[in-house]
Amino acid sequence: MSEKFAAVEIISAKRDKHELSNEQIAWTIDAYTRGVIADEQMSALLMAILLNGMNNREISKWTEAMIASGEKMNWSMLDRPTVDKHSTGGVGDKITLPLAPVVAACGAAVPQLSGRGLGHTGGTLDKLESIKGWKANLSNSEMLKVIQDCGAVICAAGAGLAPADKKLYALRDVTGTVEAIPLIASSIMSKKIAEGTSALVLDVKTGSGAFMSDPKDAALLARTMVNLGKDAGVKTRALVTAMDVPLGLTAGNSLEIRETLEVLAGGGPSDVIELTLLLANEMLDAVGIKPKVSPEEALKNGMAMDVWRKMIAAQGGDNDAPLPVAKEKMEIKATATGKLLTLDAMKVGVAAWRLGAGRQKQGEVLQLGSGIEIHAKPGDLVTKDQTILTLHTDEVARFERAIDALSGGFSIGGKDDEVKRLPLVIERIEG
């Protein structure tokens, strides 16, 4: 088949800071999906986009082309409205896990199509695969049945849903192009629009552990995605939230499942609970549900846990099987007595990644028990030699590089020193 363009033309145009035409964009996504554009060529284009950006029209057309590469889902047969949430990712961000069953327990249907880890950030599917037997890949009919039976499903996007994004997502992870706003926005919104949900709440992270460390960049990303959703007829709103410090007290796959179970049992870290409830209320409001039981009550009275256990079992998971535990552990201790002033989310995330909780290359098998437990957060008083972090891995040799990543990762000051942290919610954006 004769092609309209050559990949090198497209790469060169964006390299030289030119706008891509609608036709060029449509061809690029289609050609990459068909295998006409090779990975090394698309890698070059992604880097050019990272460095030189895209305008709103290009982002919109790139997103449309990604949607057009596959099918669109339809949930009109359900007896309740659908609403989804997406986070741009962070360290210890396990919010999807308790959130989906909470919102389902309050009366909405939650088709939560999730992804795998990108760089130093964890992936929801990777975490869930810590549960024996649980399967991420469901057919559309299986997905529908789980939602009908349980109120929520957390699974991988089907092969037919924005297949172009599936290829691009994996490529971005290993080519240093994760952080590009056009690529983040189009990746997220192509899947979410194709998913067919009636409303979407975005959790856009900012701070050292987020892809958008600057709150202004995070707000720009949030607005870009809200506008993409609005243009596609999906009720979309966004919260810009803090990721300067890890969320909760764990970073790593099975460790975060354990913490999720604590939250669903009515306990767990206060920041995880607070953000879960904030997002749950946004999701319910977006679809006009005034629940008889509040999200807070659903956590406390066991309703959310019931949905969780039913959902996990429906996807083949054994709720009662022990979670993976790493073979080796090492404690990182406080070097002085005083107040913990900082705990750098990025450094913790990279360390967890190096311990085996994240991938160095496409398709790499994770160490599901690896990661980091956090024993103190900024504002806490600590004593010299108190354990601040516990590192978990299956391979002793990984400790050295993880410790290197943690260099300067936390600081201790006087008990009266001020702790400077971002507020949990920095900005709210609605289309």
Predicted local distance difference test score (pLDDT) of residue 88: 87
Q: Does 216 lie in the same domain as 160?
A: yes
The answer to whether 191 is a known catalytic residue is: yes
Options 61, 86, 339, 354, the catalytic residue = 86
* 14 pLDDT tier (thresholds 50, 70, 90): very high
Options 191, 339, 392, 398, the catalytic residue = 191
Q: Does 191 lie in the same domain as 104?
A: yes
299 within a domain of the structure (yes/no): yes
* 362 pLDDT tier (thresholds 50, 70, 90): low
Q: Does 404 lie in the same domain as 302?
A: no
180: domain CATH number is 3.40.1030.10
- Residue 104 confidence (pLDDT) above 80: yes
258-292 pLDDT per residue, tens: 999 999 999 999 999 999 999 999 999 999 999 99
The answer to whether 187 is a known catalytic residue is: yes
The answer to whether 86 is a known catalytic residue is: yes
Predicted local distance difference test score (pLDDT) of residue 170: 83
59-81 pLDDT per residue, tens: 999 999 999 999 999 898 999 99
Mean pLDDT of 79-105: 95
Q: Does 116 lie in the same domain as 18?
A: no
The answer to whether 120 is a known catalytic residue is: no
Q: Does 243 lie in the same domain as 342?
A: no
C-alpha span between 377 and 147 (Å, rounded)? 37
Q: Does 144 lie in the same domain as 34?
A: no
Q: Does 133 lie in the same domain as 269?
A: yes
- Residue 144 confidence (pLDDT) above 80: yes
- Residue 122 confidence (pLDDT) above 80: no
- Residue 118 confidence (pLDDT) above 90: no
Options 85, 94, 116, 172, the catalytic residue = 172
Predicted local distance difference test score (pLDDT) of residue 185: 94
**Which one is predicted more confidently, 122 or 124?**
124
**Which one is predicted more confidently, 222 or 162?**
222
242 within a domain of the structure (yes/no): yes
pLDDT, averaged across the chain:
94
Mean pLDDT of 133-151: 94
- Residue 361 confidence (pLDDT) above 80: no
Q: Which range marks the domain in which residue 374 is found?
A: 328-413
Options 165, 173, 244, 344, the catalytic residue = 165
65 within a domain of the structure (yes/no): no
Options 130, 187, 208, 370, the catalytic residue = 187
- b/e per residue, 395-429, with b = 16+ CB within 10 A? eeebbeebbebbeebbbbeeeeeeeebbeeebbeb
Mean pLDDT of 22-33: 97
Mean pLDDT of 94-121: 90
Predicted local distance difference test score (pLDDT) of residue 119: 67
* 204 pLDDT tier (thresholds 50, 70, 90): very high
- Residue 109 confidence (pLDDT) above 90: yes
Q: Does 235 lie in the same domain as 107?
A: yes
